[in-house]
Structures are given as structure tokens and as C-alpha cells.
């Protein structure tokens, strides 16, 4: 646990008692603060009371009169599409609003570090797609290299649940826009921006607000080194803002869309080969085509980002390359479930938006595509260019018929995952890939993308076991 510093003796309200909220309450208590907690769910409040926390209804009159700070869970909106009433009440009372990420950065460094040979480091990863894989890959490379490393944030452990760092330790954080937008303190040593595509637009009032939330990690945080995917205009703009000149190697530009020139520090993947250039000269090259856990150009971008972050820590290219080959990938992200009679089955349930699904489609040939769900803003036009390898689509979801009408490949309305898997299996031929890449949220039929992916895996394995 990371005890919260700077709030000793203060009363701090905690809104939302999921994983991050309870962890924040525990860390506040460990740091000498009094956490007063609330959740609309009575069961969540009961669990907190069982741990000795006092609850407080935060909408009653005078609830914030003695509160020094309000800490909120990431899923609770604080501005758009409208502020949560509790957050609005705190702001009217002049109470600062924060989250567990802000508390972490406020509390991570301690006087004990004076005894360390090497100060601990924090690598923070954000972006629309690939941030989980990139974070997990960085963590895997560091462990492969014998470095003490912890994985936290949206993946792994809660940020305040991790162990206090040791000398030379590295904490890898996956951070969503919900987290970067609100944290009052953001001070990573290395910050990574993978890419940007439309997502969570209602929460951020459009693309400008969404990009601004991501940008805070770099503008507010002032990292020593920034790894920036520059294949979108926003990333290119961000790299330009952070750089002092063409040769400024504090910014590492990453691309999988084209060659990057100039005297700066660049990491590019083209046609399956990762290339690092610095000062206009090639420093290293890695063949990614045989890396089973990182299929497709989108995973090659993840590899470039992870490579650049680890090179910033001084790891040798060949050490990183060896770690690539032992990386098994993450569940629900280009996850190979199995193969039978020449047909592969791949679970990419995390492809919850059009851009992520398009990248998944571009990684395979002869695709039997299971897609559909709760459609996000912006429509499905972005899938057209990537659907050339699709032999047929099998559409799930409550609005499957409307979803199917927007697709260019032949599409069959299946509605349920069971029907989609059964039809895809029945029609698949040797050389085909049955791919779940929904291009939509899961909440019309499932509680999460994980639950949707687990259902797909269960049905596929039942087929493979026959």
C-alpha cells in the first residue's frame, strides 16, 4: 500500500466504493487521514463499514463543511455530460476534487528514497487503443530484464494498492482519460501516448475535450521523456508542443504509418520490422513478424511504444527483442483461443470502437467476423477500408439488424453470441479466422467487454472440445 501523504488529520470524502475507491480509503487511513465514504449501493457501503469506515451521505446539508478533499472513482462524471450531484455540491462548497491517481502521485516519493542507490521511476501509458497491451508489455520486458516492476492503474493492481517501491523499481501505470482528466497531481518520469480515436465523447464533450484529457498527462506532468504516437494529427501536434527542436530526444516519435526522418529519436514499424533511429542513424532493428503475442500493425505500434519506453530506461535492444518473443498477449486483445481443422479462433472483445476493430481486421485474412453491440457515436464508416478480408459478418446485439445494414461485407443477423459462433463455425473453411472484434460497447447484452469475451471463449472451447 502507498499511504497518502499531505492529508494527515484531515477528513476526506470518498465517493464510489469499487476497487479504486476502497483502496483510496485504506490508503488515506494509512496516511493518517479520516476517510468518510459513500456509495449509492448499500452493499458497497456495508463492505466499507465492515472495514471500519464511517459512511456519510454527501448530499445532506453541510456534508462538506469539514471536508478537505473529495476523492471520486473514475466512472463518476464530474463535468460532462453533467456533473454528478455530489461533485457539484463539493465544488459549490469550495472543496477540491481529486482521484486515486492524484493521491498516488502526491504520495509516491518518500524520505526513504534518500537511501536508495537509484530512484524509482513511473511510466504512465495513455491513449485510445493499445494502452493495456503496451503497459503489460513494458512490465513484461522489465521483469524479463530482471528489473523490479509493478503494473497498476486500469490493469493489474490499484495504484494505491501496490507495494512501496524499492531502489531502482519501476511502476507501470495504464491511465484512462477519466483518470488523467481529474488527477490533481500527474508527475510520471516517462509518459506514453499510443494513439487517439473517437471514444467516450459524451464524457468529454467531443474530441477536443477527449484529447485535452489525454494531453494533461504531458502538459501537467512534465515527464522527463515522452513517447508519442504521431500517426494522428493530435499526436503529431502533441509531439511538436513538447519538443524544443528537431533533435530534442526528450520526445520519441512512434509511427506505423510511414517513415519518420530528421535528427530526433524515432521508433517506426513498417512491413513487420521495428526500426530505431537516433541522430539520423539507425540504432537497432527487430523483426516482429514472428512474435506470436503481437499480431498485426496495431500490436506493432504497441511494441514500438513499449520498446521506446524501455530504451528510455537504458535496456538493450536485444534484451527487449527477447522479451517480445516470450510475451503471451492479454485476454480479449487479439487473443488466440485455439485452432481446429485449419480454422483459427481469435478473441478481440476489447475492440469496443471502430478504430480498434479496424486494426483487428487488418491483422488477419479470410475473416469470419463476429461484431455488433451498443454502437458508439460516429457510425461505422471507418470500418469500410479494413473489411476487405472479411468473408462474412455475424452480427450480435439488440440492434443487430441496424448494425448489419451499415456493413459492406455480407452480414447475417444473429443477435446472440451463441448463434453467431454456431453460424461462423458451420461456415468456416480451412484458412479462415473466426474473429470477435465487436466495434461496439458490450452493455446492451453484457456487463463488460470481459464478460462478452469470456462468453465467446466458452462457446469456442466447447466447439474445440467436441
Residue 128, marked binder: yes
Establish whether 55 is an annotated binding residue. Answer: no
DSSP tally for the chain: helices H, then strands E: 15, 20
User: Is 132 among the annotated ligand-binding positions?
Assistant: yes
Residue owning grid cell 516470450: 326
275 annotated among ligand-binding-site residues = no
Distance (Å, whole) CA 69 – CA 88: 13
Residue 38 near residue 60, CB atoms below 8 Å: no
Q: Is 126 annotated as a binding residue?
A: no
Residue with cell 461505422: 380
Q: Cβ(374)–Cβ(448) under 8 Å?
A: no
| Euclidean distance between CA atoms 369 and 350, whole angstroms | 14
How far, in Å, CA of 228 to CA of 202, rounded? 25
Find out whether 133 and 328 touch, Cβ atoms under 8 Å: no
> What distance in Å separates the CA atoms of residue 84 and residue 411, rounded to the nearest whole number?
40
**Alpha carbons 374 and 398: distance in angstroms, whole number:** 8
- Tell me how far CA of residue 80 lies from CA of 24, 92, 166, in angstroms: 24, 17, 39
Q: Residue 173 phi/psi, 5° resolution?
A: -115, 130
Which backbone phi and psi does 359 adopt, to 5 degrees? Answer: -70, -35
Burial label, 30 (beta-carbon count in 10 A; 0-12, 13-18, 19+): middle
- Annotated binding residues, written as ranges, equal 127-133
- Annotated binding residues for ATP, written as ranges, equal 127-133
Amino acid at each position: 500500500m502507498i499511504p497518502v501523504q499531505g492529508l494527515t488529520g484531515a477528513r476526506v470524502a470518498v465517493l464510489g466504493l469499487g476497487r479504486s475507491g476502497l483502496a483510496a480509503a485504506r490508503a488515506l487511513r494509512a496516511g493518517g487521514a479520516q476517510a468518510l465514504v459513500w456509495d449509492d449501493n448499500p452493499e458497497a457501503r456495508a463492505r466499507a463499514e465492515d472495514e471500519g469506515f464511517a459512511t456519510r451521505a454527501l448530499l445532506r446539508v453541510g456534508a462538506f463543511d469539514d471536508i478537505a478533499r473529495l476523492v471520486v472513482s473514475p466512472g463518476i462524471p464530474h463535468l460532462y455530460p453533467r456533473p454528478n450531484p455530489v461533485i457539484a455540491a463539493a465544488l459549490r462548497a469550495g472543496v477540491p476534487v481529486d482521484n486515486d491517481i492524484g493521491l498516488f502521485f502526491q504520495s509516491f516519493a518518500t524520505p526513504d528514497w534518500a537511501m536508495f542507490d537509484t530512484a524509482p521511476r513511473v511510466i504512465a501509458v495513455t491513449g485510445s487503443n493499445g494502452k493495456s497491451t503496451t503497459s503489460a508489455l513494458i512490465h513484461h520486458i522489465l521483469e524479463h530484464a530482471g528489473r523490479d516492476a509493478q503494473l497498476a492503474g486500469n490493469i493489474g493492481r490499484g495504484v494505491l494498492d501496490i507495494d512501496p517501491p524499492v531502489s531502482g523499481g519501476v511502476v507501470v501505470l495504464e491511465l484512462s482519460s477519466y483518470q488523467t482528466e481529474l488527477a490533481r497531481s500527474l508527475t510520471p518520469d516517462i509518459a506514453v501516448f499510443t494513439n487517439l480515436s473517437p471514444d467516450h465523447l459524451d464524457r468529454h464533450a467531443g474530441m477536443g475535450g477527449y484529447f485535452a484529457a489525454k494531453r494533461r498527462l504531458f502538459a501537467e506532468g512534465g515527464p522527463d521523456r515522452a513517447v508519442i504516437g504521431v500517426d494522428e494529427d493530435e499526436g503529431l501536434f502533441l509531439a511538436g508542443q513538447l519538443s524544443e527542436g528537431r533533435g530534442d530526444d526528450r520526445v520519441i516519435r512512434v509511427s506505423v504509418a510511414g517513415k519518420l526522418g530528421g535528427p530526433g529519436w524515432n521508433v517506426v514499424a513498417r512491413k513487420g520490422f521495428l526500426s530505431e533511429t537516433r541522430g539520423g542513424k539507425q540504432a537497432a532493428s527487430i523483426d516482429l513478424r514472428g512474435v506470436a503475442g503481437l499480431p498485426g500493425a496495431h500490436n506493432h505500434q504497441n511494441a514500438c511504444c513499449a520498446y521506446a519506453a524501455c530504451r528510455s530506461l537504458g535496456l538493450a535492444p536485444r534484451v527487449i527483442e527477447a522479451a517480445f518473443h516470450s510475451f503471451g498477449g492479454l485476454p480479449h486483445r487479439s487473443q488466440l483461443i485455439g485452432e481446429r481443422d485449419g480454422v483459427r479462433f481469435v478473441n478481440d472483445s476489447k475492440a469496443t470502437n471502430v478504430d480498434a476493430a479496424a486494426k483487428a481486421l487488418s491483422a488477419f485474412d479470410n475473416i469470419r467476423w463476429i461484431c455488433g453491440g451498443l454502437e458508439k457515436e460516429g457510425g461505422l464508416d471507418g470500418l469500410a477500408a479494413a473489411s476487405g478480408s472479411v468473408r462474412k459478418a455475424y452480427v450480435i446485439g439488440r440492434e443487430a439488424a441496424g448494425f448489419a445494414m451499415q456493413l459492406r461485407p455480407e452480414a447475417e443477423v444473429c443477435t446472440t453470441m451463441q448463434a453467431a459462433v454456431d453460424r461462423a463455425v458451420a461456415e468456416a473453411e480451412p484458412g479462415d479466422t473466426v474473429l470477435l472484434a465487436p466495434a461496439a460497447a458490450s452493455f446492451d447484452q453484457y456487463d463488460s467487454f470481459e464478460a462478452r469475451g469470456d462468453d465467446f471463449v466458452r462457446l469456442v472451447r466447447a466447439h474445440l472440445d467436441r
